[in-house]
Structure 1
Amino acid sequence: MLTVSAHKLWDDDTYENAASWDGYRFYKMRDDPQRQSQAQLITTAPENLAFGHGKHACPGRFFAANEVKIVLIFLLLRYGWKQSEGMVPRIFSGGFGMALDPTLRIEVRRRREEMEI
């Protein structure tokens, strides 16, 4: 088994309030000219090794990023998503991984299509 350390993702020296969820973390980083290039999904750096780094960085990361964006756009255009009343999302961590609470309930509703894709 091979693992890559992701400890820098949880380091407050790397990201402000690294241990707390901030859905706008990388969006806000783009406002800072010093960190703007670090906020891209396909950027490689020693602080974020999701796609590797250096000459061994994943060459398919550009394609993968576009695929994820296409799927996300498709889901957001066709469905409405809402967390069920009274549900509080929890994160479970153990070993090398983290996972969202498998008992969390969300409500999904098909939307009236505004455009055809």
Structure 2
Amino acid sequence: MDKGGEERLFHLQEIEEMRREAYNNSWMYKEKCKAIHDSGILRKSFKLGDKVLKFKARFKFGDRKLKERWDEPYIITKVLGYGAFELKDEKDNTTYLANGQLLKLFYGKLAEM
């Protein structure tokens, strides 16, 4: 191999090393971003007998901006798979299925409207 061929091969090896380094740097950046993002996510854990509020996920035209968006307190009666819960209404003893993402713990009294 002549001198030009060796030089070209050396440059190709340098380019391959820079590519690997860039790939590793981007992978580390993505992992750090994911860790920062995941640290900001609040994990919700509910158990049987907890009182929860259910988010009103329905849209009504003309809803007021400051209108309450959470339904009455419900009691968790059954924990189903994949983050689903069975809820019981305290007033009329009806049961509902709800996604855990639409729930939050109930700590006190609701304001009467």
Fold shared per TM-score above 0.5: no
> TM-score, with normalisation over the residues of structure 1?
0.23
- Judging by fraction of residues, say which structure has more strand: 2
Q: Which has the larger radius of gyration?
A: 2
Question: Taking CA–CA contacts closer than 8 Å with sequence separation of 6 or more, which of the two structures ends up with the larger relative contact order?
Answer: 2
> TM-score, with normalisation over the residues of structure 2?
0.23
